[in-house]
Structure formats: structure tokens, C-alpha cells
Amino acid sequence: MPNTRSAAKQMRVAERRRVRNRIVKSAVKTYVRKAERTIVAAIDDAQSQVVQAIKSLDKAAAKGILHKSNVARRKSRLMKKFNLAAAADAAPAVVETKPTRSSTAKKTTKPRTRTASTARKR
């Protein structure tokens, strides 16, 4: 409980701000989630969804609801996913495989021998 009238008022103000900020944060999460889903599904309007998500992130940063570094990190991750998906759609999938070792091939390495410097001293 607040001890002074000013502390009581600050509690009321903080609660109003919390409710207002929660609405904006929820909207940002929704836009980002929609953009990620369209990227994964390779839907044509993925770019517009990404633009809308970035716009909402920038607005939240401008209002001081989210920190600018937090917004920059989220935008970077979103764009990275978008660019990877765009590159995967543009280029044909090339799968590199490692050469498999024949089960009949023998190992040609020599067994390890101990020297005076590597042997344990007892």
C-alpha cells in the first residue's frame, strides 16, 4: 500500500500506462506472429506482413513501450527469417552429402604409443 498521496497517484498512473502498453505489446506480438507464419508458409503477401510488423515495432519504440535495442533485435530476426525464406524460394535446393565410408575399409592409423613424456609417473 502506498504511504503518501503522491505514491497512491503514481500507482494509479502506472496502472493506466500498464493497460495501455499491454494493448500495444499484444498487437506487436500478433503482427510479428502473423508475419512469421506467412514466411514459413511461403505465402505471397509475406512481404506486406513483414512491413506491417516492422511498422508496429517502430511505433512501439517511438512511444517508449519497447526499448529501441529490443525492437532492433526483433526486426533483425524477422528480416533474417524473411531473407532466408526468399533465398530458398529463389534458388533450387542443393543438398550436399558427405561421402560415406565403406564398412569393409580398414582404419589405417597407427596405434598410439606412450613415450616417457606422456606416460604417467607413479
Residue that is written with C-alpha cell 503477401 in the block:
45
- For every residue of 47-65, DSSP letters joined together read HHHHHHHHHHHHHHHHHTS
Which domains occur in the chain, in start order?
Answer: 5-90 (1.20.58.110)
User: What pLDDT is attached to residue 42?
Assistant: 86
* Per-residue pLDDT tens over the stretch 57-115: 999 999 999 999 999 999 999 999 999 998 888 777 556 777 776 666 666 677 667 66
Position 122 pLDDT exceeds 60: no
The per-residue pLDDT for range 13-28, each reduced to its tens digit, is 999 999 999 999 999 9
Rounding to the nearest 10 degrees, give the CA dihedral for residues 23, 25, 31, 32.
Answer: -160
Which pLDDT score is estimated for 43?
Answer: 85
pTM of the entire structure?
Answer: 0.68
The grid coordinates of residue 101 equal 565410408
